[in-house]
Amino acid sequence: MLNRNRNIVIILCVLCLLIILPSLIYGYVYPTGGDDSAEHIRVMERITLTHPIPVGYLYNGQWMVGYPLVVLKTLFGIPLTTSFMWFNYLVLIGVVLTLYFVFSRIFNSLAGITAAIGIFAAQTFVAQFLSGLIFNIISIGIILMWLLYFGIRAWTKRSWKFGIVAVILLALFVNFHASGAYIPITPKAVTSVVQGFENTVQGLSSTSNGFILQYAMCLALFLLAVGALFWYRKRILENITKEGRLMMVALGVFGILLIIVSAPIFKISLFPSRQLTDAVTIVFLLAISGLSAYIGKASKLAVNSVLITVMVLVGVLWLPAWFKNNSVIRTVDKEAIAYVNNLGGGQFYGNEYVAPWIYERYLNKKYMADSNVYIWRSAPMTMRTDPLSEWYWKPKDVAIAPPDNIKTMVRFEDNGIEIYVAQGGD
């Protein structure tokens, strides 16, 4: 028992180290590779010690997280970009520890360690992290998991103390992030199904083929997981507690809700891709629960085989992409920023691949189209600066055209990305 616990602690420590290593190796200065982080920081910059709830926040989680970071900035001078960056990595570590604790208590240690490690093989949280969707990760990977844990414990143990915690977590889940809308949106989802499929053709025709394929794969995985659970239900029920059954039912119901909400034929959600990503996460956790219950108290060989398989998948699917430089601000950007900061004038602008809402944070200049300092980048910085993305910011041609009279031009290059900084003349 002691050796097993020690091995689990070692595995969790190694996983947490792997999570933060890229930020140390590359010297990240910006939270993630997404546009959302810039918006989060912009909201947090409007927070003050006397006014913790800023004007124009998108959801409560922004000021709930932002206020402590503003306190750190006030007391210790830590920039918001720095503290928020490390907060992002602490959230991933929190997801690992949460999944291990919840699933090991509800099911067994195999479920706990497999969920904690394997969630990175599923890639859902990784993709959201790199896009800056950190508040959705908190909502689904931490708050929801603890809500299910305390809610199930309150029901099975008839404990009012667990019940109070569950109610508090439910209120937090509903109000923390937009993903909490899954609960009040449930009646709308049910109504959409009851009304039938009148808008099926219209819904499918206005949805991209890529999303339809992703949705079909998620639905197939969900049906496969449910089918396997039903097929092996006898053995699973023999090895599972009442709490485990309730957790699997809760995950199954929540998975069905997410699949309905993200369905292209119903058009319930404005951001179905996010709900689909959450659905994949829930399906994965449901599969882990069933697999761990099926194995139960099997031989050490069977348990180790599952763990080794999961770790191999993590090594193949997660680590190679994770250990790339995934920050928006690359080495070449740092060099260009240092050069621009030494130029005269107080304004800058760039081509369509430059994200001024991010560059502005590191320059001593403000964004102004058709100014004298022009930054040309050879590759998109973020999703919003990618013309092929549905989130493309679509700047006007006049706002990204280089100055007419270029006086000087300096080139920077690193890892295939080129940046030219041009300075216009009078």
pLDDT tens digits along 257-287:
887 777 766 666 666 777 778 888 888 888 8
End-to-end CA distance of the chain: 76
Cα separation, 43 vs 105, in Å, equals: 38
> Where residue 20 falls among pLDDT bands split at 50, 70, 90?
very high
Lowest mean pLDDT among 114-128, 237-251, 283-297: 283-297
Residue 242 has pLDDT above 80, yes or no: yes
pLDDT tens figures, 300-318: 666 667 777 777 777 777 8
Cα separation, 422 vs 350, in Å, equals: 10
Question: Read out DSSP for 283-320?
Answer: HHHHHHHHHHHHHTT--HHHHHHHHHHHHHHHHHHTHH
What totals of helices (H) and strands (E) does the chain contain, helices first? 20, 5
* Region label for 239, one of left (φ > 0), alpha (ψ between -120 and 50) or beta (otherwise): alpha
Residue 182 has pLDDT above 60, yes or no: no
Cα separation, 283 vs 357, in Å, equals: 36
**Residue 291 identity (one-letter amino acid):** L
> What phi, psi does 375 have (nearest 5°)?
-115, 120
Q: Which two tokens stand for residue 165?
A: 């915690």
Cα separation, 248 vs 121, in Å, equals: 21
Q: Which residue, 416, 410, 409, 423, is CA-closest to 335?
A: 410
**Greater model confidence, 212 or 188:** 212
Q: Which pLDDT score, from 0 to 100, does residue 264 have? A: 67
Q: Which pLDDT score, from 0 to 100, does residue 297 have? A: 59
Query: Cα dist. 176→148, 284, 365 in Å?
Result: 16, 24, 34
Q: Which residue, 33, 24, 62, 71, is CA-closest to 138?
A: 62
Q: Which residue, 77, 117, 125, is CA-closest to 99?
A: 117
CA angle (70, 75, 77) in 5-degree steps: 75
Q: Which pLDDT score, from 0 to 100, does residue 63 have? A: 92
Lowest mean pLDDT among 82-96, 267-281, 372-386, 403-417: 267-281
pLDDT tens figures, 205-238: 445 556 666 677 777 777 777 777 777 777 777 7
Task: Judge whether 55 and 45 are in contact, CB under 8 Å.
Answer: no
pLDDT winner (highest mean) among 5-19, 266-280, 304-318, 327-341: 327-341
Rg (CA), the chain: 24
The SS3 of residue 123 is coil
Residue 202 has pLDDT above 70, yes or no: no
CA angle (139, 96, 83) in 5-degree steps: 70
Q: Which residue, 86, 97, 82, 88, is CA-closest to 16?
A: 97
Cβ–Cβ contacts within 10 Å for residue 43, how many?
A: 19
Task: Judge whether 271 and 211 are in contact, CB under 8 Å.
Answer: no
pLDDT tens figures, 355-376: 999 999 899 999 998 888 999 9
Task: Judge whether 285 and 115 are in contact, CB under 8 Å.
Answer: yes
Query: What percentage of the chain carries pLDDT values higher than 90?
Result: 32
Cα separation, 98 vs 12, in Å, equals: 11
Cβ–Cβ contacts within 10 Å for residue 76, how many?
A: 8
Cα separation, 156 vs 153, in Å, equals: 5
Task: Judge whether 362 and 402 are in contact, CB under 8 Å.
Answer: no
Lowest mean pLDDT among 73-82, 96-105, 226-235: 226-235
Task: Judge whether 43 and 54 are in contact, CB under 8 Å.
Answer: yes
Cα separation, 21 vs 10, in Å, equals: 16
Sheet-wide strand order for 366-367: 366-367, 347-350, 373-377, 417-424, 406-414
Q: Where are the chain's structural domains?
A: 1-182+310-328, 185-297, 331-424
pLDDT tens figures, 140-180: 899 999 999 999 999 998 888 999 999 999 999 988 886 65
Packing angle, helices 2-26 and 80-106, rounded to 10: 160
Average pLDDT, the chain: 83
Q: Which two tokens stand for residue 358?
A: 């991010």
Residue 188 has pLDDT above 70, yes or no: no
Helix (H) or strand (E) segment spanning residue 413? strand 406-414
- Would you give the distance in Å from CA 143 to the centre of its chain? 14
Q: Which pLDDT score, from 0 to 100, does residue 268 have? A: 67
Residue 201 has pLDDT above 80, yes or no: no
Outline where 177-241 has alpha helix (H): 186-194, 200-205, 209-231, 233-238
